[in-house]
Amino acid sequence: MNHRDSTVLITGASSGIGKDFAETLAAQGANLILTARSVDKLDALAGDLRARHSIRTDVIGADLSVPGAAAELVGEIDKRGLDVDFLINNAGFGTHGDLADADPTRISSEVALNVAALTDLTTAYLQLMTARGSGAIINVASTAAFQPVPHMAVYAATKAYVLSLSEALWWEARRNGVRVLALCPGATDTEFFDVVGSDDAAVGARRTTRQVVDTALDALAAGKPSVVDGLLNKVSANSPRFAPRRMVLAIAERAVRPRG
């Protein structure tokens, strides 16, 4: 796919996978709309990408876990006269530990960001892309989407939603010229585990953000409904289909069991 002169909206763009999407697409000549809570980081990234690639880069600070924030973001983009050709819903976070011990406010924010904001942005831009007859959406799910994960129950459930939604929309949208992809990374070298608050949630060797982004863009170009990044991650994501459910739960629980 040729992204030159297209406009790409990337959520969670200040670090990790979102930042690498921005750097990769800027190098291909795409114009960017970058959003995250960390405006200082976004401004630094935007300035660097403008200087190196002579592209337009807009920065919009937003906390998408706040109700109504996605609609405000869409409104601000519209006010600036920008048309989004490619949406990358990358913003999200996880929590680690039993739900019985969790902070209810933190859990509510997790669902709001991982599910509600992603759905709101997908709905808004899928409708506009459908009217134009072209566009692309990548929704970042996870290998956690393929089975329930005790101690990360809410996170895995939100990512199962993202995977299911995106694959269904792939079917709905393809006849209208719009591509939709669910990207399912495993453990990746990002700040994700700093936010989670524990490395116990990491399963397997960490892949680089560049590997994840390359996997995603190749799969999008190939017209796939979903993709798992990394061979070992593909094996672990598909194996739960062939095992008894209790065994799947026991293996998943052991993999992310809090130590100490």
pLDDT tens column, 96-110: 999 999 999 999 999
161 is catalytic: no
What is the per-residue pLDDT for 206? 83
Give dist(CA 25, CA 52) in Å, integer. 12
DSSP per-residue letters across 208-253: PHHHHHHHHHHHHHTT-SEEESSHHHHHHHHGGGGS-HHHHHHHHH
pLDDT band with cut points at 50, 70 and 90 for residue 14: very high
What is the per-residue pLDDT for 198? 55
Q: Is the pLDDT of residue 191 over 70?
A: no
Domains in the chain, please, with CATH?
7-256 (3.40.50.720)
125 is catalytic: no
Give dist(CA 160, CA 215) in Å, integer. 20
Q: What is the mean pLDDT of residues 193-208?
A: 64
pLDDT tens sequence across 92-142: 999 999 999 999 999 999 999 999 999 999 999 999 999 999 999 999 999
Instruction: Answer for the pair 59, 82: CB distance below 8 angstroms, yes or no.
Output: no
* 61: amino acid identity, one letter: G
pLDDT band with cut points at 50, 70 and 90 for residue 224: very high
Tokens standing for 147? 């089975």
pLDDT tens sequence across 64-89: 999 999 999 999 999 999 999 999 99
**DSSP type of residue 100:** G
What is the per-residue pLDDT for 110? 98
Instruction: Answer for the pair 229, 215: CB distance below 8 angstroms, yes or no.
Output: yes
What is the per-residue pLDDT for 201? 57
Q: Is the pLDDT of residue 196 over 80?
A: no
Q: Find residue 12's DSSP bridge partners.
A: none
Active-site annotation holder among 19, 125, 155, 161 = 155
Which strands form 135-140's sheet, in the order they lie side by side?
Answer: 57-61, 31-36, 7-11, 86-89, 135-140, 178-184, 226-228
Q: Which residue has the tokens 């061979």?
A: 231
pLDDT band with cut points at 50, 70 and 90 for residue 199: low
Q: Is the pLDDT of residue 194 over 80?
A: no
- Burial string for 129-156 (b: 16+ CB within 10 Å, else e) reads bbeeeebbbbbbbbbbbbbbbbbbbbbb
pTM (two decimals): 0.93
Active-site annotation holder among 41, 79, 125, 159 = 159
Instruction: Answer for the pair 226, 167: CB distance below 8 angstroms, yes or no.
Output: yes
Q: Which residue has the higher pLDDT, 190 or 168?
A: 168
